[in-house]
């Protein structure tokens, strides 16, 4: 479950601990790579009709395939990196799941996908700012504006007035 | 005074569509009406002075038709006057004032399927859904519950027009809708809409909860409006004005009668427009807009439906 941050930047997702949905008749657990302990323990505690799957580098088609038989009364639990969580959540929304049917565990790494507002390339594995765009090479200021659709953070040329004078490198989390 | 521009319309036809329901056709005095979106409503202002009422009614005409609007009014004997006024005082040729359309009950167009539950006069917003859903080729089914001796308007037309997609349940004929049977086994991406009495809304929500259908797939509109309560006094701290709110008047109506301009869209405690800051006095919250925490803090209230729990309130107006 995500709630918006009340202070600061509104769009950075906040991940709260995930519980099983006691009302659901079916539970699907999807992990990006190895099933992390939190997801495994949810799965183990689940008494209902359930399925678990780990998709190491799953294609979009595989992900969609896993949702075709998903029932109206089901809940989907996701574990993995932040871009993975939101990529699957996006497919889930397309398939017709409501946002309260999708529960996201806290991302397993703090690496971000970065969306460059100049060339629209998404750069992966970003942990600090400014960061060089893998598309146009611009040094990008990493913001906390997050797109749930793209699973990426918005970024723009750092210190655009004088791009030879870069702000000090800082970690993002 | 209203905070949004009202439009003057003329009543061009009145039809008794069921024993308790009259339909009114409204045309602009000049120019054209704006098109609206399926599920929209207008606030109709009628009468004058002491006998002035404002009620929200769903638009039930085709949303693309900008020559006229249609609304349906169910006579509520226990009402505080608006529906009685519409039924008894309003005649063809009369002028009324309406707000521009606003929509708090639009279909979730991303849904894979729409299931509509209408109770009595609650059919009205769905009458504006139907042409748009047909135009978009959206999959939908309509479950229409009524009492033919009171409220069964449009059931024949709808059945004829929609065939199997419309199921009618006439309680006066002993026919009941098995809500759980309708809701179970609907496909993923189905959204449910309810317009009707509180008991119907509660029944559908409880069934959804029971079946494990996500709350985000349930949408409802309740235009119960303000219910009467105990009379109380309200003091407006900025102007020093003191007003008496009678048992069958809402606080919003009392403020409006004193020419105090409060924004409003739904007049039913749903939209949040009319929120007022309260500095003193206990509140009886009756809205579904404020969160529980906000209600408990006692600092805000929705004057369209909520009242004083005691004898006096002080508003920061
Ligand atoms: S007018 Fe909508 S909440 Fe009061």
HEC per residue, B273-316: CCCEEEEECCEECCCCCCCHHHHHHCCEECCCCCEECCCEEEEC
pTM as predicted: 0.88
Least confident interval from A42-56, B57-71, B209-223, B276-290? A42-56
Residue B217: list chain A partners with CB under 8 A. 72, 98
Least confident interval from A18-27, B17-26, B78-87? B78-87
Residue B226's nearest CA partner among B125, B301, B315 is B301
Residue A92: list chain B partners with CB under 8 A. none
From CA B192, how far away is CA B183, in angstroms rounded?
Answer: 9
Contact A21, A154 (CB under 8 A): no
From CA B183, how far away is CA B214, in angstroms rounded?
Answer: 12
pLDDT classification of B3: cutoffs 50, 70, 90: very low
pLDDT classification of B70: cutoffs 50, 70, 90: very high
For a mutational test of ligand 1's pocket, the pick from B54, B55, B268, B290, i.e. the residue with the most ligand atoms closer than 8 A to its C-beta, is: B268
Of all residues in chain A, the percent with pLDDT exceeding 90 is: 69
Of all residues in chain B, the percent with pLDDT exceeding 70 is: 96
E strands present in B125-172:
140-146, 166-170
**Is the backbone of residue A100 left (phi > 0), alpha (psi -120 to 50) or beta?**
alpha
Least confident interval from A3-7, B40-44, B210-214? A3-7
- Residue in this structure with the two tokens 């970065």, named with its chain if needed: A114
Three-state DSSP class for B191?
A: strand
For domain B232-315, which CATH number applies: 3.10.20.30, 3.30.870.10, 3.40.47.10, 3.40.190.10?
A: 3.10.20.30
pLDDT value for B82: 84
Instruction: Give the CATH fold of the B3-98 domain.
Output: Elongation Factor Tu (Ef-tu); domain 3 (2.40.30)
From CA B122, how far away is CA B159, in angstroms rounded?
Answer: 16
Residue A131's nearest CA partner among A172, A165, A162 is A172
Would you say the CATH fold of B232-315 matches that of B113-221? Answer: no
Which residue in B212, B215, B216 is closest to A25 by CB distance? B212
Q: Is A76 exposed, middle or buried (0-12, 13-18, 19+ CB in 10 A)?
A: buried
H helix count then E strand count, chain B: 7, 18
ipTM above 0.90, yes or no: no
Give the mutation candidate from B180, B214, B219 for the A interface (greatest A CB count, under 10 A). Answer: B214
pLDDT value for B156: 93
Mean pLDDT score across all residues of chain A: 88
pLDDT of B60 over the 70 cut: yes
User: Between vectors from CA B211 to CA B207 and to CA B213, what angle results, nearest 5°?
Assistant: 90
What is the widest separation between alpha-carbon atoms in chain A?
Answer: 60
pLDDT value for A154: 95
Which residue in B187, B209, B215 is closest to A72 by CB distance? B187
pLDDT value for A1: 37
pLDDT of A3 over the 50 cut: no
pLDDT value for B80: 65
Please list, in sequence order, all residues whose beta carbon lies within 8 angstroms of the beta carbon of residue B240, skipping any fewer than 6 positions away.
none
pLDDT value for B151: 86
Indicate the domain borders of chain B.
Answer: 3-98, 113-221, 232-315
Q: A152 C-alpha vs ligand 1 centroid, how far in Å?
A: 37
pLDDT value for B219: 97
Q: B310 C-alpha vs ligand 1 centroid, how far in Å?
A: 22
Indicate the domain borders of chain A.
Answer: 2-104, 112-171
Note the pLDDT tens digit of each residue in B211-239.
999 999 999 997 667 788 999 999 999 98
Residue B61's nearest CA partner among B106, B13, B95, B26 is B26
pLDDT value for B224: 66
User: Judged by CB atoms within 8 Å, which residues 127-166 of A form the interface with B?
Assistant: none
pLDDT value for B79: 66
For domain B113-221, which CATH number applies: 3.40.50.720, 3.50.50.60, 3.40.50.80, 3.40.50.2300?
A: 3.40.50.80
Contact B110, B187 (CB under 8 A): no
* Of residues A34 and B289, more confidently modeled: B289
For residue B170, report the phi and psi dihedrals to the nearest 5 degrees: -100, 105
How far, CA to CA in Å, does B61 sit from each of B23, B64, B101, B142? Answer: 11, 9, 12, 17
How far, CA to CA in Å, does B31 sit from each of A156, B66, B277? Answer: 48, 10, 39
pLDDT of B150 over the 90 cut: no
pLDDT of B13 over the 80 cut: yes
Note the pLDDT tens digit of each residue in A134-151.
999 999 999 999 999 899
Residues of B with CB under 8 A from a CB of A: 110-112, 186-190, 209, 211-217
Note the pLDDT tens digit of each residue in A117-132.
999 999 999 999 999 9
Note the pLDDT tens digit of each residue in B155-203.
999 999 999 999 999 999 999 999 999 999 999 999 999 999 989 999 9
Note the pLDDT tens digit of each residue in A69-80.
899 999 999 999
Mean pLDDT score across all residues of chain B: 92
From CA B66, how far away is CA B222, in angstroms rounded?
Answer: 26
* Of residues B285 and A68, more confidently modeled: B285
Name the pairing type of β-strands B95-98 and B53-58.
unpaired
pLDDT value for A9: 62
Q: B101 C-alpha vs ligand 1 centroid, how far in Å?
A: 15
* Residue whose CA is at the smallest distance from ligand 1 atom 3: B269
If one counts every other C-beta atom within 10 angstroms of the C-beta of residue B292, the result is 8
Residue B39's nearest CA partner among B130, B112, B149 is B130
**Is the backbone of residue B212 left (phi > 0), alpha (psi -120 to 50) or beta?**
left
- What is the CATH number that goes with domain A2-104? 3.40.50
Q: What is the DSSP letter of B102?
A: B
Q: B313 C-alpha vs ligand 1 centroid, how far in Å?
A: 18
pLDDT value for B5: 81
């Amino acid at each position: 479950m995500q709630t918006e941050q009340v202070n600061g930047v509104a769009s950075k997702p906040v991940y709260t601990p995930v519980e099983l949905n006691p009302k659901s008749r079916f539970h699907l657990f999807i992990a990006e790579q190895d099933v992390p302990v939190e997801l495994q323990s949810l799965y183990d505690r689940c008494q209902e009709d359930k399925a678990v799957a780990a998709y190491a580098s799953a294609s979009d088609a595989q992900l969609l395939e896993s949702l075709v038989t998903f029932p109206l009364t089901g809940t989907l639990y996701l574990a993995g990196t932040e871009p993975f969580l939101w990529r699957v959540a996006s497919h889930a929304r397309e398939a017709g799941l409501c946002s309260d049917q999708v529960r996201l565990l806290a991302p397993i790494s703090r690496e971000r996908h970065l969306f460059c507002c100049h060339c629209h390339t998404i750069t992966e594995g970003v942990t600090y700012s400014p960061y060089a765009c893998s598309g146009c090479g611009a040094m990008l200021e990493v913001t906390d504006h997050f797109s749930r659709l793209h699973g990426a953070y918005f970024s723009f040329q750092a210190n655009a007035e004088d791009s030879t004078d870069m702000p000090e490198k800082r970690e993002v989390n | 005074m209203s905070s949004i521009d009202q439009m003057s319309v003329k009543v061009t036809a009145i039809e008794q569509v069921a024993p308790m329901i009259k339909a009114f056709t409204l045309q602009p005095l000049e120019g054209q009406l704006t098109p609206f979106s399926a599920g929209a409503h207008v606030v109709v202002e009628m009468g004058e002075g002491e006998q002035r009422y404002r009620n929200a009614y769903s638009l039930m005409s085709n949303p693309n038709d900008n020559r006229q609007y249609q609304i349906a009014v169910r006579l509520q004997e226990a009402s505080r006057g608006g529906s009685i006024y519409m039924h008894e005082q309003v005649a063809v040729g009369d002028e009324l004032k309406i707000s521009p359309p606003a929509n708090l009950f639009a279909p979730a167009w991303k849904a894979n399927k729409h299931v509509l539950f209408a109770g009595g006069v609650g059919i009205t917003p769905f009458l504006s859904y139907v042409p748009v859903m047909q135009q978009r080729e959206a999959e939908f089914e309509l479950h229409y519950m009524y009492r033919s001796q009171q409220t069964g308007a449009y059931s024949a037309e709808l059945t004829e027009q929609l065939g199997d997609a419309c199921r009618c349940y006439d309680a006066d004929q002993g026919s009941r809708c098995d809500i759980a049977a309708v809701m179970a086994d609907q496909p993923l991406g189905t959204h449910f809409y309810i317009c009707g009495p509180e008991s119907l809304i509660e029944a559908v929500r409880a069934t959804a909860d029971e079946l494990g259908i996500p709350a985000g797939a349930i949408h409802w509109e309740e235009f119960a409006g303000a219910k009467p309560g105990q009379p109380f006094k309200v003091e407006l701290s900025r102007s020093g004005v003191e007003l008496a709110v009678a048992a069958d008047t809402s606080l919003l109506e009392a403020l409006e009668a004193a020419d105090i301009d409060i924004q409003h869209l739904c007049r039913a405690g749903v939209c949040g427009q009319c929120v007022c800051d309260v500095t003193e006095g206990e509140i009886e919250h009756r809205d579904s807009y404020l969160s529980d925490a906000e209600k408990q803090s006692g600092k805000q209230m929705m004057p369209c439906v909520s009242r004083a729990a005691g004898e006096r309130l002080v508003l920061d107006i």
